[in-house]
Amino acid sequence: MTGMLTIAGLGPGDEGLVTPEVSAALADATDIVGYAPYVGRVAPRAGLVLHPSDNRQELQRATDAMRLAAEGRRVVVVSSGDPGVFAMASAVFEALETSPQWQDVAIRILPGVTAMLAAAARAGAPLGHDFCAINLSDNLKPWPVIEKRLRLAAEADFAIALYNPRSASRPEGFARALDILKEAGCGDRITIFARAVTTADERIEALPLRDARPEMADMRTLVIVGNSATRRIGRWIYAPRRAS
């Protein structure tokens, strides 16, 4: 049996957003590895071994997955959204660099609909003009780097998608991010809070950045700060294609 390590994106939550190639990989897998809530999205079946793990265990999880694949198993590492955006793909390559014995394991990456695309679709088209995506988690990134990127993103007039805005363990980061964007002149910008997009818990709110409160976000929320030209038309929010 030839092993294979597949790193797959499950999309934001709705089964209708799981791509057929990801569904086929799950159907063919012997082992599913990932953060427990994502592994929980895969239907159990005879012959399929589930390996749920805790958050912040990315490197161990990646190493475990490579060992299984090297043993000949067909392993799927599951991420929410897209595996290449603030998710497991980078962690697998980091683990591969420190584990040269697994250089020959066959790897493939199957993209998915990342949260900002699903959130944007629900709100309208706030990513229809140039934009950036910033992970507000400072587990692996010094906070000054995040601050600098927020200021430059504001100056560039990008729409800004903020991933992992707020956790119980470090609630102050998102409040500071909002303050930085206000100081950078973004108070008027329409800001979208998209929580648990495409799930039964979905909630979409939009308001000017200056009225946004930190507690409007949690770790299931994706925040999109519009650019200076982002507008409302009826219930929709969109970025015009022309630069302002």
Q: Which 223-242 residues touch its own copies, going by CB under 8 A?
A: 231, 233-234, 236, 238-242
Q: Which is nearer to its own copies, 36 or 243 (CB)?
A: 243
Give the tokens for residue 43.
């239907």
Closest residue by Cα to residue 32 from 181, 40, 174, 200: 40
Residues that bind its own copies (rule: CB under 8 A) add up to a total of 72
Work out how close the CB of 2 gets to its own copies at its nearest, in angstroms, rounded to a whole number: 18
Contacts of residue 112, defined as CB under 8 A and 6 or more positions apart, other chains included, come to 8, 9, 10, 11, 17, 18, 19, 22, 79, 81, 82, 83
- The site string for its own copies over 119-158 (x = CB under 8 A, - otherwise) reads -xxx-xxxxxxxxxxxx----xxx--x--xx--xx-xxxx
* Residue of 3, 13, 111, 165 interacting with its own copies (CB under 8 A): 111
Instruction: Please tell me whether residue 210 adopts helix, strand or coil conformation.
Output: helix
Distance between CA atoms of residues 79 and 88, nearest Å? 6
* Residue of 85, 177, 209, 222 interacting with its own copies (CB under 8 A): 85
168 alpha carbon, distance to own chain's centre = 18
- Contact segment (CB under 8 A) with its own copies among 27-35, 63-71, 118-126, 182-190 equals 118-126
Buried b (16+ CB within 10 A) or exposed e, 42-63: beeeeebeebbbeeeebeebbb
* Residue of 26, 66, 109, 180 interacting with its own copies (CB under 8 A): 109
Work out the burial of residue 1: count CB atoms within 10 Å of its CB; fewer than 13 is exposed, 13-18 middle, 19 or more buried: exposed
* DSSP label of 101: G
Q: Which is nearer to its own copies, 5 or 39 (CB)?
A: 5
Give the tokens for residue 140.
């692996």
Considering only residues 38-77, where is the footprint of its own copies by CB under 8 A? 58
- Contact segment (CB under 8 A) with its own copies among 48-56, 86-94, 173-181, 187-195 equals 86-94
Considering only residues 1-30, where is the footprint of its own copies by CB under 8 A? 11, 14-21, 24
- The site string for its own copies over 167-206 (x = CB under 8 A, - otherwise) reads ----------------------------------------
Residue 243 engages its own copies in binding (rule: CB under 8 A): yes
Q: Which is nearer to its own copies, 106 or 215 (CB)?
A: 106
